[in-house]
Amino acid sequence: MSDNHQDEIEHQSKDEQQQKRNSEHMLEARIAHTLQNQAAHIQFTGELRNHIIRSLPIRHTANRRRFLAPAFALAAIVLVVFSLSTYLLLNQQPSSLHYALHQVITVPPELAQGGQLLSLDPTGQHLVYQPAHQSGVMYTDDVSNPLTSNVLAMRYAHSVGWSPDGTELITTVLPEGVINPLLALVHIGGYMKPLGPDAEAASWSPTSTQQILYVTQAHNHTQLWATTPGGQASQHVATMNVSLPIQQMVWSNDGQKLALLITNENGIGNTLSIMDARTHTLNTIVKTDTVTISALSWSPNKHNLTYQQSDAQDHTTLHTIDVDQQKELFVLTIQKNLAGWSWSPDSNTLVYSDGGTLHTYTLHGATVQLPHINATQSYPFWLKDGRILYMNITNTGGKLAILTKI
C-alpha cells in the first residue's frame, strides 16, 4: 500500500473521530438544554431533590468506554423527567370538585308534602322519613323506588338505629299510657315489633348484625346491655355513673367509641360524653347550662363528632370536635334554619342545608362546588360512592335528588 493511500486512510479516520466528538458535544448540549427547560417548570423543594437523588443510578467508573456516556446521560435524563412527572402527578391535588344534578326520583305524598328525611341506612339503599306534623310516625322506603316500597314502620318512635347491613332497625317507643320507653325492632318492609325490655335509648352495634345495645337507668346509675334481634336474654355490658336520662346514643363506625347525649333535669340535652368500648370509661367532652344539644353524628374516619346546638333565641350552630384530641375543629353559624347535614365518605367535607340551600365546609383537601338549583334543598346524605342524596322541593312538592361529580 502506498504512503499516500495510508495517509489518506489516517486522515479519514481522524475526520470520523472528530465528527464523533462533535456529535457527542452536540448531544450533550441538547441534553443540557432539555433538562434546563424541564427544570424551569419545577419547584425544587428539599423533599423533591432527595427523591430524585435516590432515583438516580450509581455513577459508572471512569474506565467505561467513552461512547457509552451519552447513552447513560440520556437514560439518566429520561429517569429524572419520568420521576419528576410521576412525583408531580401523584402530588397534584384538584383545587375543587364540581357537582351537578344527576337524577330526581318521585316519592310518596307523605314525604313529598313536607316530610322530613331522618336517616339513611349504611348501605345507602333504604331511608326513614317522618311525615309532616306527625311526630313519632316513621316510614321506610327504598331509595331506588320509593313509591312501591313505602311502608309505615313505627309509631311513638324516638330514634332510629340501623343494622350494619341495612335490613333492620332498632328504636325506642313511648306509646300513650306507658311510663318507660320500650325497645322495638323493625324489619325493612314491615311494622315494628316489641323486642322485650324497657330502654331509655338504643343503638345497633356497627360491627355486628347480631348485637343491639341499649341503656336502662336505676338508682342513679345507667346500665348498658346487649341483646340480639331475636330477643335473647340481655347481657350486662357496663355500668356508667350517669343519673340523668340519655336522649341519644351513637356508635363510631369501628364500634370503639359510644357518644351519649345526656339531658338535664328539664329533659333538655346539654351534656356530651364518650364511653370507651374497651375500658368502659366515660369522659365528658361538652357540658353547658345555657344551650340545647339536639343531634349527633360521627364522621366516617371515627375521629370527629358533629352536633347541633341552639340557644334560647333559637340561634343554631354546628360544632365539630376531634374526640381523640378533645379539640373543637370548627363551628358553623346557621343563618336561617338547619335541615340536616352529612359527612363525605373521606371525612374531608361536611354538607349541610341552611335555609333550603346546600352548603359545604371543607376540613381537608379539595373544596366542593355545588350547583345553583332553583329549589329548596334539605336533608342531605352523602353516599359511599361520593354522590349526594337530598330532598329537592319545589312548588309542586318534594322529590329525592342525586348530585354527582362531573
Contacts (Cβ under 8 Å, ≥6 apart) of 394: 374, 375, 376
Residue 161, classified by CB atoms within 10 Å of its CB into exposed (0-12), middle (13-18) or buried (19+), is buried
Angle separating helix axes 3-40 and 69-91, nearest 10 degrees: 10
What stretches of 241-303 adopt beta strand conformation (E)? 246-251, 257-263, 269-276, 282-287, 292-298
Interval 7-52: pLDDT, tens: 555 555 555 565 556 555 555 555 555 545 554 544 545 555 555 4
Distance CA 84, CA 31 (A): 16
The confidence score (pLDDT) of residue 383 equals: 97
Of all helices (H) and strands (E), which one includes residue 169? strand 168-173
The pLDDT of 149-168, averaged and rounded, is 96
Interval 233-251: pLDDT, tens: 899 999 999 999 999 999 9
Interval 185-220: pLDDT, tens: 999 999 999 998 899 999 999 999 999 999 999 888
> Cα separations (Å) of 70 from 15, 22, 39?
20, 12, 20
Distance CA 270, CA 75 (A): 67
The confidence score (pLDDT) of residue 8 equals: 53
Q: How confident is the model at residue 87 (pLDDT cuts 50, 70, 90)?
A: very low
Residue 354 predicted with pLDDT over 70:
yes
C-alpha cell at 141: 322506603
Note whether 308 and 338 are within 8 A (CB): yes
Of all helices (H) and strands (E), which one includes residue 69? helix 69-91
Q: How confident is the model at residue 317 (pLDDT cuts 50, 70, 90)?
A: very high
Mean pLDDT of the chain: 85
> Cα separations (Å) of 184 from 2, 113, 201, 243?
115, 27, 11, 24
Nearest C-alpha neighbor of 372 from the set 393, 358, 352, 389: 358
The confidence score (pLDDT) of residue 260 equals: 97
Residue 118 predicted with pLDDT over 60:
yes
Distance CA 121, CA 69 (A): 64
Please tell me the total number of residues recorded for the chain in this structure. Answer: 406
Note whether 116 and 380 are within 8 A (CB): no
The pLDDT of 364-369, averaged and rounded, is 96
Interval 371-398: pLDDT, tens: 999 999 999 999 999 999 999 999 999 9
What stretches of 113-167 adopt beta strand conformation (E)? 116-120, 126-130, 138-142, 151-154, 161-162
Q: How confident is the model at residue 142 (pLDDT cuts 50, 70, 90)?
A: very high
The pLDDT of 110-126, averaged and rounded, is 97
Neighbour order of strands in the sheet with 397-405:
367-369, 96-105, 397-405, 388-394, 376-382
Distance CA 406, CA 388 (A): 13
C-alpha cell at 338: 338547619
Q: How confident is the model at residue 321 (pLDDT cuts 50, 70, 90)?
A: very high
Distance CA 88, CA 80 (A): 12
